[in-house]
Chains A and B, each alone.
Chain A
Amino acid sequence: MGVASDELVADACAVLGAVDRGPVGAVGGQKAVRLIERDGVSRVLKVIAVTASSPTILTRVEREVQLLRSLNNAHVVRVTSDLVTIGTPVRGAAWTEELLDGSDLTPLLGPQWSWADTWRMLRDVADGLAAAHALGVVHRDLSSNNVRRLDSGDYKVLDFSFARHTLRSGVTQAGQPGTLNFLSPEHLNAYTGVPMPASDVFCLGILAYTALTGMNPIPFAGDEDEYFRRLQSARLVADIADVRPDLRADQHDLLRRMLHAQPARRYLNGSRLALALEGVA
């Protein structure tokens, strides 16, 4: 795996005609995230290091950047450039996204959210997922770091699908990228069982359960084997009705269905979830 070095970032800025204003978030690894200015507008620059062994990865990232650039949805971060490659042979690739205000969900989880607040998050994220699923794009790494609450109170989904290619997140036993505490049972699979739209629904269920209860429903406690066993059967720490008896039965049922062990028993994609949410406001 290559490293998205400062030199690679500088080359990306040169290719894109952008001015680097410094890192955004953590520094290091295969992917760099920087604040830039381009044509007088502040953007987020994402740069990934590409190794000689990953030309097919580059092709797929390029295709998905193009797909997401064509996606104009209020609840998905907007991609503002095509994918550009850096070097000959290619050493890296980069693209830009809109700069968002607000905060990701990680620091907001802990206190129990109201149903109304959780519902709004679910509605916005389901809408964003629905738009991507319609294009055949699965997020695959929907975690609290990849959903942002804007100052307006709206939510946006970040880093659609790129995790799979950039290996920014941890990799499960089956080789599927994702973030511990926010995996679906399908993250443990290979072949046809790999993350699918219903897996994004499961991961959003984890976010909603965590928001409502202050507890992760399938927490990673340090032992991967033990965690994966619970994850495979979607064994939750507690039924939502036991932790939030104040919620209605249809609200409990919605959460249970999102977190069902069988993907075919869940809402199959963001669109079906969004439809179901209309009935449980």
Chain B
Amino acid sequence: MSVLIEDSPRNIVDWICESVDAKIASGTIVTPWASPWLSHPNLKPRAVDRVQELQGRGVPVLFDPMTHALQMSGVGDFRFYDEYDLWGGPRGDLSDAVLREEHVARVFEVQQSLAVRHLAPTELLHTGLSNASARALELAREAVRLDPKCVVGVAGTMPFWASGGALDAHVGALASLTPAEWVVTVVHSDKAIPPHFSAEGAHGLCRTVRALSELGPVHVSHGDFGGLPAIAAGATSVGSGWDFRQRRCSYVDYAARPGGVGGGGGWNHRPTLAGLLGTLLLNEATVVESRDVALVSRLGGLPAAPAPRPTYDHHMTVLTAAVETLRSESDLRRRYELLTRMYSAANANWAAVRRHGNLAAGAPEWIEPLAGGLALYGATEGW
């Protein structure tokens, strides 16, 4: 595994299957936030049918309940979510053990009906140690009690990932449950592209993944390029896709839709450049290409055409290559050193691109926080 396609309300199953066939993706994740449980005319097929089709075409599938989206401020896009029978009490109520156990059991029942493995629900955390972290631990404990080989999730905002020893202690408590696999999610309270990272948060993500990857495979949900430091620290895969909502986990993608309409996901039409480990705006790419086609070529080139499918295919190809390049180093110190060199080169490349005009986002947004976190991780490891 290297890149998993996260869920989107857009009904384009062929892209997923063809990406897996082309080895630019290795599976997909379905959620109750973007896939309906019931049949609707003119919408995606219901989850059972969609998962059957994907599995029939050889695509590995996970179902992530994404319970942690319920704690996002402004959450309100329940158009599909409320079709699922995931709660014994009020939606999102994890306040007592009976309700938590009921929620885990119902999530597992849905996963059994989809014939996918058990992936435990978790709660969104803002710091490592709190009442919420206690509930998240209890959810994981119940999940492991029901299925010791389940996948356990950890989801938090940047303050959680930057919470140092508190983060380490919470992760230690989760690790003591020894589930089979892990899904970690960095949740962003804003909708910035690239998503905002702090160096401390990236460091916490690296430390966590370094520890958990000794115990089992780790997927960085919605990680995209922001998940590369985690890959360097031992993660197996990152999540991505064609929409903004697949490339970062943001409050905005789960918020109530004005008037109950829209919210398809938002095409990410920005062209990806391998040498930048990031994307440009479409007009920025046009300007740079018109002025310095050799530079664009040296950076890995643009999508074959400025259209959704080529842009998506190009992004997946570049991201998968970056992930697999890192993963080809079995030694974690060499992975760390390799990504450090990749970030150094990307920094220089962003500077070269910037010479052709101002950019909405450059190395300070795409590279520096992640590189800073990676450097802190390296120092922690004594490298």
Instruction: Point out residues on A near B: beta carbons under 8 Å.
Output: 185-186, 188-193, 196-198, 232-233, 261-266, 268-269
Contacts and interface: CB of A to CB of B under 8 A. Distances in A.
Interface stretch (B43-51, B206-214, B321-329, B343-351): B206-214
25 contacts: A186-B172, A189-B129, A189-B166, A190-B129, A191-B129, A191-B170, A192-B128, A192-B134, A192-B136, A192-B170, A193-B169, A193-B173, A196-B172, A196-B173, A197-B176, A198-B175, A261-B165, A263-B172, A263-B173, A264-B174, A264-B208, A264-B211, A265-B210, A266-B172, A268-B176
Given A261-B165, A262-B207, A268-B178, 20 more contacts: A185-B168, A186-B172, A188-B165, A191-B129, A191-B134, A192-B129, A192-B170, A197-B176, A198-B175, A262-B172, A263-B168, A263-B171, A263-B172, A263-B173, A263-B176, A264-B171, A264-B211, A264-B214, A264-B215, A268-B215
Contacts of B178: 268
Identify the interface centre among A188, A193, A261, A265: most chain B CB within 10 Å of its CB. Answer: A193
- Looking at chain B's contact residues, the main secondary structure is helix
A191 B133 contact: yes
Contacts of B215: 264, 268
Given A191-B129, A192-B129, A193-B129, A262 B168 contact: yes
Interface string B138-175: 00000000000000000000000000011011111111
Nearest to A188: B165
Given A185-B169, A193-B166, A193-B169, A268 B175 contact: yes
A197 B214 CA distance: 17
Contacts of A266: 172
B210 A269 contact: no
B128 A265 contact: no
A41 to B, nearest CB: 38
Identify the interface centre among A191, A198, A265: most chain B CB within 10 Å of its CB. Answer: A191
A264 B129 contact: no
Given A264-B212, A268-B175, A191 B168 contact: no
A45 B340 CA distance: 61
B137 A192 contact: yes
Nearest to B178: A268
B130 A264 contact: no
Contacts of A197: 176
A266 B211 CA distance: 9
B175 A263 contact: yes
Contacts of A198: 172, 175-176
B131 interface: yes
Nearest to A185: B165
A193 B175 contact: no
A233 B169 CA distance: 11
Contacts of A269: 176
Contacts of A192: 128-129, 133-134, 136-137, 169-170, 173
Nearest to B135: A192
Contact of A262 (B129, B136, B171): B171
Contact of A196 (B134, B176, B207): B176
Contact of A263 (B137, B169, B210): B169
Contacts of A196: 172-173, 176
Contacts of B174: 264
Nearest to B214: A265
A155 to B, nearest CB: 24
Contact of A264 (B137, B165, B175): B175
A227 B41 CA distance: 65
B205 to A, nearest CB: 13
Contacts of B128: 192-193
Nearest to B130: A191
